[in-house]
Structure 1
Amino acid sequence: MNTTNEILIIDLEATCWENDRIPIGEKVDIIEIGICKLDLKSKAISQKQSIYVIPERSEINEFCTKLTGITPQLIEEKGIYFEEACEKILDEYDSSALTWAGFGNFDREQIFEQCDWLGIEIPFGGQYLNVMEEFREHFSLHKMTGLKRALEYLKMDFEGNHHSGADDAYNAAKILRKILE
Protein backbone atom coordinates (compact mmCIF):
# COMPACT_ATOMS: atom_id res chain seq x y z
CA MET A 1 0.00 0.00 0.00
CA ASN A 2 1.29 3.49 -0.77
CA THR A 3 2.09 5.96 1.96
CA THR A 4 -0.21 8.66 0.60
CA ASN A 5 -3.33 6.83 1.78
CA GLU A 6 -5.06 7.45 -1.53
CA ILE A 7 -6.11 5.04 -4.23
CA LEU A 8 -7.26 5.97 -7.73
CA ILE A 9 -10.19 3.98 -9.07
CA ILE A 10 -10.74 3.92 -12.80
CA ASP A 11 -13.37 2.48 -15.09
CA LEU A 12 -13.04 2.50 -18.84
CA GLU A 13 -15.62 2.52 -21.54
CA ALA A 14 -14.32 1.37 -24.90
CA THR A 15 -15.50 0.89 -28.44
CA CYS A 16 -17.56 -2.29 -28.60
CA TRP A 17 -19.52 -4.38 -31.04
CA GLU A 18 -22.49 -6.69 -30.87
CA ASN A 19 -21.39 -10.25 -29.95
CA ASP A 20 -17.81 -8.89 -29.66
CA ARG A 21 -17.46 -9.01 -33.45
CA ILE A 22 -14.63 -6.54 -34.00
CA PRO A 23 -14.55 -5.43 -37.65
CA ILE A 24 -11.39 -6.24 -39.59
CA GLY A 25 -8.91 -3.39 -39.27
CA GLU A 26 -10.44 -1.99 -36.07
CA LYS A 27 -9.23 -2.39 -32.50
CA VAL A 28 -10.83 -1.79 -29.11
CA ASP A 29 -10.23 1.87 -28.20
CA ILE A 30 -10.80 3.60 -24.89
CA ILE A 31 -13.53 6.25 -25.28
CA GLU A 32 -14.00 7.22 -21.64
CA ILE A 33 -11.80 7.08 -18.57
CA GLY A 34 -13.94 7.37 -15.48
CA ILE A 35 -11.80 8.18 -12.47
CA CYS A 36 -12.07 9.11 -8.80
CA LYS A 37 -9.92 9.11 -5.71
CA LEU A 38 -10.54 7.20 -2.47
CA ASP A 39 -8.95 8.65 0.67
CA LEU A 40 -8.23 5.71 2.98
CA LYS A 41 -8.17 7.86 6.13
CA SER A 42 -11.30 9.99 5.71
CA LYS A 43 -13.05 7.36 3.50
CA ALA A 44 -14.06 10.22 1.17
CA ILE A 45 -14.45 9.60 -2.56
CA SER A 46 -13.48 12.71 -4.52
CA GLN A 47 -12.36 14.13 -7.86
CA LYS A 48 -14.87 12.02 -9.81
CA GLN A 49 -14.82 12.81 -13.51
CA SER A 50 -15.23 11.45 -17.01
CA ILE A 51 -12.41 12.02 -19.45
CA TYR A 52 -13.73 11.41 -22.94
CA VAL A 53 -11.21 9.98 -25.39
CA ILE A 54 -11.10 10.18 -29.19
CA PRO A 55 -10.90 6.63 -30.60
CA GLU A 56 -7.95 6.36 -32.98
CA ARG A 57 -8.37 2.78 -34.24
CA SER A 58 -12.15 2.30 -34.41
CA GLU A 59 -15.52 4.02 -34.66
CA ILE A 60 -18.31 4.42 -32.10
CA ASN A 61 -21.27 2.49 -33.49
CA GLU A 62 -24.96 2.44 -32.53
CA PHE A 63 -24.53 -0.64 -30.28
CA CYS A 64 -21.71 1.07 -28.38
CA THR A 65 -23.74 4.28 -27.97
CA LYS A 66 -26.74 2.31 -26.66
CA LEU A 67 -24.53 0.57 -24.09
CA THR A 68 -22.42 3.52 -22.91
CA GLY A 69 -24.47 6.60 -23.83
CA ILE A 70 -21.37 7.92 -25.60
CA THR A 71 -22.05 9.34 -29.06
CA PRO A 72 -19.62 10.40 -31.79
CA GLN A 73 -20.98 13.96 -31.23
CA LEU A 74 -20.06 13.85 -27.51
CA ILE A 75 -16.52 12.76 -28.40
CA GLU A 76 -16.32 15.49 -31.05
CA GLU A 77 -17.32 18.12 -28.45
CA LYS A 78 -15.48 16.86 -25.34
CA GLY A 79 -12.98 14.23 -26.46
CA ILE A 80 -9.21 14.50 -26.18
CA TYR A 81 -6.57 12.11 -27.49
CA PHE A 82 -5.57 9.21 -25.23
CA GLU A 83 -2.06 10.57 -24.78
CA GLU A 84 -3.52 13.91 -23.58
CA ALA A 85 -5.89 12.02 -21.26
CA CYS A 86 -2.88 10.26 -19.69
CA GLU A 87 -1.12 13.62 -19.19
CA LYS A 88 -4.29 15.07 -17.63
CA ILE A 89 -4.48 12.14 -15.16
CA LEU A 90 -0.80 12.55 -14.24
CA ASP A 91 -1.26 16.30 -13.70
CA GLU A 92 -4.56 16.25 -11.81
CA TYR A 93 -4.13 13.10 -9.70
CA ASP A 94 -0.36 12.66 -9.28
CA SER A 95 -1.24 9.17 -10.52
CA SER A 96 2.29 7.81 -10.93
CA ALA A 97 2.68 7.85 -7.13
CA LEU A 98 -0.61 6.12 -6.32
CA THR A 99 -1.98 2.61 -6.24
CA TRP A 100 -4.72 2.28 -8.83
CA ALA A 101 -7.72 0.01 -8.99
CA GLY A 102 -10.49 -1.15 -11.27
CA PHE A 103 -13.32 -3.67 -11.19
CA GLY A 104 -11.73 -6.61 -13.01
CA ASN A 105 -8.61 -6.73 -15.18
CA PHE A 106 -10.02 -5.33 -18.45
CA ASP A 107 -9.24 -1.72 -17.50
CA ARG A 108 -5.63 -2.46 -16.55
CA GLU A 109 -5.02 -4.56 -19.67
CA GLN A 110 -6.60 -1.95 -21.95
CA ILE A 111 -4.50 0.88 -20.45
CA PHE A 112 -1.33 -1.22 -20.92
CA GLU A 113 -2.30 -2.18 -24.49
CA GLN A 114 -3.12 1.36 -25.58
CA CYS A 115 -0.03 2.89 -23.95
CA ASP A 116 2.10 0.19 -25.59
CA TRP A 117 0.48 0.86 -29.00
CA LEU A 118 1.29 4.58 -28.68
CA GLY A 119 4.72 3.99 -27.12
CA ILE A 120 3.89 6.12 -24.08
CA GLU A 121 4.38 5.65 -20.33
CA ILE A 122 1.56 4.16 -18.30
CA PRO A 123 0.12 7.08 -16.28
CA PHE A 124 -0.33 5.02 -13.10
CA GLY A 125 1.90 3.73 -10.32
CA GLY A 126 3.01 0.12 -10.20
CA GLN A 127 0.43 -1.47 -7.91
CA TYR A 128 -2.97 -2.39 -9.35
CA LEU A 129 -5.86 -3.64 -7.21
CA ASN A 130 -8.52 -5.75 -8.89
CA VAL A 131 -11.60 -4.74 -6.86
CA MET A 132 -13.60 -7.69 -8.24
CA GLU A 133 -10.96 -10.15 -7.01
CA GLU A 134 -10.58 -8.34 -3.66
CA PHE A 135 -14.37 -8.50 -3.20
CA ARG A 136 -14.50 -12.21 -4.05
CA GLU A 137 -11.67 -13.03 -1.62
CA HIS A 138 -12.96 -10.76 1.15
CA PHE A 139 -16.36 -12.48 1.23
CA SER A 140 -14.97 -15.96 0.38
CA LEU A 141 -17.13 -16.22 -2.73
CA HIS A 142 -16.52 -19.04 -5.20
CA LYS A 143 -17.00 -17.07 -8.37
CA MET A 144 -16.59 -13.57 -9.69
CA THR A 145 -19.52 -11.20 -9.62
CA GLY A 146 -20.33 -8.06 -11.58
CA LEU A 147 -20.32 -4.52 -10.22
CA LYS A 148 -24.11 -4.30 -9.73
CA ARG A 149 -24.31 -7.73 -8.05
CA ALA A 150 -21.43 -6.83 -5.73
CA LEU A 151 -23.32 -3.69 -4.65
CA GLU A 152 -26.53 -5.72 -4.14
CA TYR A 153 -24.53 -8.19 -2.02
CA LEU A 154 -23.42 -5.25 0.15
CA LYS A 155 -27.00 -3.87 0.20
CA MET A 156 -25.78 -0.69 -1.48
CA ASP A 157 -27.49 1.18 -4.30
CA PHE A 158 -25.83 1.70 -7.66
CA GLU A 159 -25.41 5.46 -8.03
CA GLY A 160 -25.66 6.94 -11.51
CA ASN A 161 -25.74 5.10 -14.84
CA HIS A 162 -24.20 1.69 -15.41
CA HIS A 163 -21.60 1.82 -18.23
CA SER A 164 -20.81 5.45 -17.46
CA GLY A 165 -17.10 5.30 -16.65
CA ALA A 166 -17.23 7.93 -13.89
CA ASP A 167 -20.29 6.33 -12.24
CA ASP A 168 -18.84 2.80 -12.48
CA ALA A 169 -15.52 4.03 -11.00
CA TYR A 170 -17.40 5.74 -8.16
CA ASN A 171 -19.42 2.59 -7.39
CA ALA A 172 -16.27 0.42 -7.51
CA ALA A 173 -14.72 2.90 -5.03
CA LYS A 174 -17.70 2.38 -2.69
CA ILE A 175 -17.12 -1.40 -2.82
CA LEU A 176 -13.38 -1.00 -2.17
CA ARG A 177 -14.08 1.38 0.72
CA LYS A 178 -16.41 -1.24 2.28
CA ILE A 179 -13.84 -4.03 1.88
CA LEU A 180 -11.14 -1.92 3.51
CA GLU A 181 -13.26 -0.96 6.55
Structure 2
Amino acid sequence: METTNEIIIVDLEATCWENDRIPIGQKVDIIEIGICKLDLTSHSISHKQSIYVIPERSEINNFCTKLTGITPQLVEEKGIYFEEACEKIMDEYNPEFLTWAGYGNFDREQIFEQCDWLGIEIPFSGEYLDVMYEFKRHFRLHKSIGLKRALDHLKMNFDGNHHSGADDAYNTAKILHKILEA
Protein backbone atom coordinates (compact mmCIF):
# COMPACT_ATOMS: atom_id res chain seq x y z
CA MET A 1 0.00 0.00 0.00
CA GLU A 2 1.18 3.49 -0.85
CA THR A 3 2.14 5.66 2.12
CA THR A 4 1.01 9.21 2.18
CA ASN A 5 0.88 12.17 4.48
CA GLU A 6 -2.72 13.04 3.72
CA ILE A 7 -5.91 12.16 5.54
CA ILE A 8 -9.39 12.62 4.07
CA ILE A 9 -11.87 14.14 6.51
CA VAL A 10 -15.57 13.45 5.93
CA ASP A 11 -18.68 14.87 7.55
CA LEU A 12 -22.16 13.88 6.44
CA GLU A 13 -25.49 15.57 6.73
CA ALA A 14 -28.43 13.24 6.42
CA THR A 15 -32.21 13.35 6.40
CA CYS A 16 -33.43 13.74 9.96
CA TRP A 17 -36.61 14.09 11.92
CA GLU A 18 -37.64 15.75 15.15
CA ASN A 19 -37.00 13.44 18.15
CA ASP A 20 -35.45 10.93 15.69
CA ARG A 21 -38.94 9.73 14.71
CA ILE A 22 -38.35 8.27 11.27
CA PRO A 23 -41.65 8.03 9.35
CA ILE A 24 -42.72 4.56 8.25
CA GLY A 25 -41.35 3.80 4.81
CA GLN A 26 -38.43 6.25 5.05
CA LYS A 27 -34.78 5.63 5.90
CA VAL A 28 -31.92 7.96 6.82
CA ASP A 29 -30.31 9.19 3.56
CA ILE A 30 -27.10 11.13 3.08
CA ILE A 31 -27.89 14.60 1.66
CA GLU A 32 -24.43 16.18 1.88
CA ILE A 33 -20.92 14.81 1.96
CA GLY A 34 -18.59 17.46 3.33
CA ILE A 35 -15.01 16.53 2.55
CA CYS A 36 -11.50 17.94 2.74
CA LYS A 37 -7.89 16.78 2.91
CA LEU A 38 -5.46 17.35 5.76
CA ASP A 39 -1.83 17.40 4.66
CA LEU A 40 0.33 16.29 7.59
CA THR A 41 3.52 17.65 6.03
CA SER A 42 2.42 21.17 5.07
CA HIS A 43 -0.24 21.33 7.83
CA SER A 44 -2.73 22.63 5.29
CA ILE A 45 -6.38 21.77 4.82
CA SER A 46 -7.41 21.66 1.16
CA HIS A 47 -9.93 20.28 -1.34
CA LYS A 48 -12.82 21.39 0.90
CA GLN A 49 -16.19 20.92 -0.76
CA SER A 50 -19.82 20.02 -0.27
CA ILE A 51 -21.20 17.26 -2.42
CA TYR A 52 -24.99 17.46 -2.25
CA VAL A 53 -26.75 14.12 -2.56
CA ILE A 54 -30.29 13.41 -3.75
CA PRO A 55 -32.08 11.33 -1.09
CA GLU A 56 -33.48 8.11 -2.55
CA ARG A 57 -35.33 6.67 0.47
CA SER A 58 -36.62 9.76 2.27
CA GLU A 59 -37.46 13.44 1.92
CA ILE A 60 -35.88 16.59 3.32
CA ASN A 61 -38.38 18.08 5.77
CA ASN A 62 -38.54 21.50 7.48
CA PHE A 63 -36.82 20.23 10.65
CA CYS A 64 -33.91 18.92 8.59
CA THR A 65 -33.67 22.16 6.58
CA LYS A 66 -33.62 24.25 9.78
CA LEU A 67 -30.82 22.10 11.20
CA THR A 68 -28.62 21.79 8.10
CA GLY A 69 -29.65 24.68 5.86
CA ILE A 70 -30.16 22.14 3.07
CA THR A 71 -33.44 22.57 1.19
CA PRO A 72 -35.12 20.20 -1.28
CA GLN A 73 -34.56 22.93 -3.92
CA LEU A 74 -30.81 23.07 -3.23
CA VAL A 75 -30.49 19.31 -3.62
CA GLU A 76 -32.66 19.39 -6.74
CA GLU A 77 -30.39 22.03 -8.32
CA LYS A 78 -26.96 20.88 -7.14
CA GLY A 79 -27.43 17.29 -5.99
CA ILE A 80 -26.19 14.09 -7.55
CA TYR A 81 -27.09 10.52 -6.66
CA PHE A 82 -25.06 8.84 -3.91
CA GLU A 83 -23.42 6.41 -6.33
CA GLU A 84 -22.24 9.37 -8.46
CA ALA A 85 -20.99 11.11 -5.31
CA CYS A 86 -18.89 8.03 -4.48
CA GLU A 87 -17.45 8.03 -8.00
CA LYS A 88 -16.64 11.76 -7.70
CA ILE A 89 -14.80 11.13 -4.42
CA MET A 90 -12.82 8.26 -5.97
CA ASP A 91 -11.88 10.44 -8.98
CA GLU A 92 -10.89 13.53 -6.98
CA TYR A 93 -9.37 12.19 -3.74
CA ASN A 94 -7.78 8.76 -4.48
CA PRO A 95 -9.32 7.55 -1.22
CA GLU A 96 -8.31 3.90 -1.59
CA PHE A 97 -4.75 4.85 -0.53
CA LEU A 98 -5.61 7.27 2.28
CA THR A 99 -6.78 7.02 5.85
CA TRP A 100 -10.14 8.73 6.25
CA ALA A 101 -11.58 10.30 9.35
CA GLY A 102 -14.78 11.70 10.79
CA TYR A 103 -16.06 13.03 14.09
CA GLY A 104 -17.64 9.92 15.60
CA ASN A 105 -18.78 6.73 13.88
CA PHE A 106 -22.15 7.83 12.45
CA ASP A 107 -20.63 8.99 9.15
CA ARG A 108 -18.65 5.78 8.63
CA GLU A 109 -21.65 3.58 9.46
CA GLN A 110 -23.99 5.61 7.23
CA ILE A 111 -21.64 5.36 4.24
CA PHE A 112 -21.30 1.59 4.79
CA GLU A 113 -25.09 1.20 5.11
CA GLN A 114 -25.89 3.25 2.01
CA CYS A 115 -23.21 1.51 -0.09
CA ASP A 116 -24.54 -1.86 1.08
CA TRP A 117 -28.12 -0.87 0.22
CA LEU A 118 -27.06 0.13 -3.30
CA GLY A 119 -24.69 -2.81 -3.71
CA ILE A 120 -21.73 -0.55 -4.50
CA GLU A 121 -18.13 -0.45 -3.35
CA ILE A 122 -17.25 1.72 -0.35
CA PRO A 123 -15.24 4.62 -1.80
CA PHE A 124 -12.76 4.74 1.10
CA SER A 125 -9.94 2.59 2.46
CA GLY A 126 -10.35 0.31 5.45
CA GLU A 127 -8.37 2.77 7.58
CA TYR A 128 -10.85 4.95 9.51
CA LEU A 129 -9.96 7.34 12.32
CA ASP A 130 -12.68 8.40 14.76
CA VAL A 131 -11.58 11.92 15.71
CA MET A 132 -14.12 12.12 18.56
CA TYR A 133 -12.59 9.01 20.15
CA GLU A 134 -9.02 10.19 19.49
CA PHE A 135 -9.83 13.56 21.12
CA LYS A 136 -11.29 11.84 24.20
CA ARG A 137 -8.26 9.55 24.45
CA HIS A 138 -5.71 12.31 23.83
CA PHE A 139 -7.13 14.55 26.58
CA ARG A 140 -7.99 11.60 28.89
CA LEU A 141 -11.65 12.65 29.12
CA HIS A 142 -14.20 10.36 30.76
CA LYS A 143 -16.71 10.80 27.96
CA SER A 144 -16.80 12.03 24.39
CA ILE A 145 -17.75 15.61 23.61
CA GLY A 146 -19.24 17.21 20.50
CA LEU A 147 -17.39 19.02 17.75
CA LYS A 148 -18.06 22.57 19.01
CA ARG A 149 -17.11 21.70 22.60
CA ALA A 150 -13.90 20.07 21.37
CA LEU A 151 -12.97 23.29 19.55
CA ASP A 152 -13.79 25.29 22.70
CA HIS A 153 -11.55 22.94 24.68
CA LEU A 154 -8.72 23.75 22.24
CA LYS A 155 -9.56 27.49 22.37
CA MET A 156 -10.23 27.42 18.62
CA ASN A 157 -13.06 29.13 16.78
CA PHE A 158 -15.62 27.22 14.76
CA ASP A 159 -15.17 28.25 11.11
CA GLY A 160 -18.38 28.40 9.08
CA ASN A 161 -21.79 27.00 9.95
CA HIS A 162 -22.38 24.04 12.25
CA HIS A 163 -24.22 21.21 10.44
CA SER A 164 -22.73 22.22 7.11
CA GLY A 165 -20.90 19.08 6.06
CA ALA A 166 -17.97 20.92 4.47
CA ASP A 167 -17.56 23.26 7.45
CA ASP A 168 -17.86 20.42 9.98
CA ALA A 169 -15.27 18.40 8.01
CA TYR A 170 -12.92 21.41 7.97
CA ASN A 171 -13.29 21.94 11.74
CA THR A 172 -12.77 18.22 12.35
CA ALA A 173 -9.55 18.49 10.32
CA LYS A 174 -8.42 21.38 12.56
CA ILE A 175 -9.00 19.25 15.67
CA LEU A 176 -7.23 16.22 14.19
CA HIS A 177 -4.25 18.36 13.16
CA LYS A 178 -3.96 19.74 16.71
CA ILE A 179 -4.07 16.23 18.24
CA LEU A 180 -1.48 14.85 15.80
CA GLU A 181 0.97 17.70 16.26
CA ALA A 182 0.96 17.33 20.07
The bucket for the TM-score relative to the shorter chain is over 0.9
Same amino acid, percent of matched pairs:
83
The CA deviation at 1:16 is 0.1
- Relative distance call for 1:2 and 1:139 in structure 2 (3 A) is farther
The 2-side partners of 1:101 and 1:180 are apart by: 13
SS of residue in 2 equivalent to 1:54 = coil
Give the equivalent residue in structure 2 for 1:22. 22
Give the equivalent residue in structure 2 for 1:87. 87
Check whether the contact 1:2–1:99 (CA below 8 A) recurs between aligned residues.
no
The 2-side partners of 1:172 and 1:2 are apart by: 24
The 2-side partners of 1:157 and 1:44 are apart by: 17
The CA deviation at 1:97 is 1.0
Give the equivalent residue in structure 2 for 1:141. 141
The CA deviation at 1:41 is 0.7
SS of residue in 1 equivalent to 2:8 = strand
Give the equivalent residue in structure 2 for 1:173. 173
Deviations 1:66-124 (A, max 9, x none): 00000000000000000000000000000111100000000000000000000000000
The 2-side partners of 1:16 and 1:126 are apart by: 27
The 1-side partners of 2:43 and 2:35 are apart by: 16
- Which residues of structure 1 form unaligned runs of 5+? none
Which AA in structure 2 matches 1:93? Y
Check whether the contact 2:53–2:81 (CA below 8 A) recurs between aligned residues.
yes
The 1-side partners of 2:99 and 2:123 are apart by: 11
Q: How does 1:63-102 map to 2 (within 5 A)?
A: 63-102=63-102
Give the equivalent residue in structure 2 for 1:32. 32
SS of residue in 1 equivalent to 2:110 = helix
Deviations 1:116-162 (A, max 9, x none): 00000000011000000000000101100000000000000000000
- Which residues of structure 2 form unaligned runs of 5+? none
The CA deviation at 1:2 is 6.6
The CA deviation at 1:3 is 1.4
Q: How does 1:41-60 map to 2 (within 5 A)?
A: 41-60=41-60
Check whether the contact 2:3–2:97 (CA below 8 A) recurs between aligned residues.
no
Give the equivalent residue in structure 2 for 1:108. 108
The 1-side partners of 2:140 and 2:42 are apart by: 27
Alignment length, in residue pairs? 181
List, as ranges, runs of 4+ consecutive aligned residues in structure 1 with deviation greater than 6 Å. Answer: none
Give the equivalent residue in structure 2 for 1:124. 124
The 1-side partners of 2:110 and 2:76 are apart by: 22
The 1-side partners of 2:110 and 2:126 are apart by: 15
The 2-side partners of 1:62 and 1:116 are apart by: 28
Q: TM-score, normalised by structure 1?
A: 0.99
Q: Are 2:41 and 1:62 equivalent residues in the alignment?
A: no
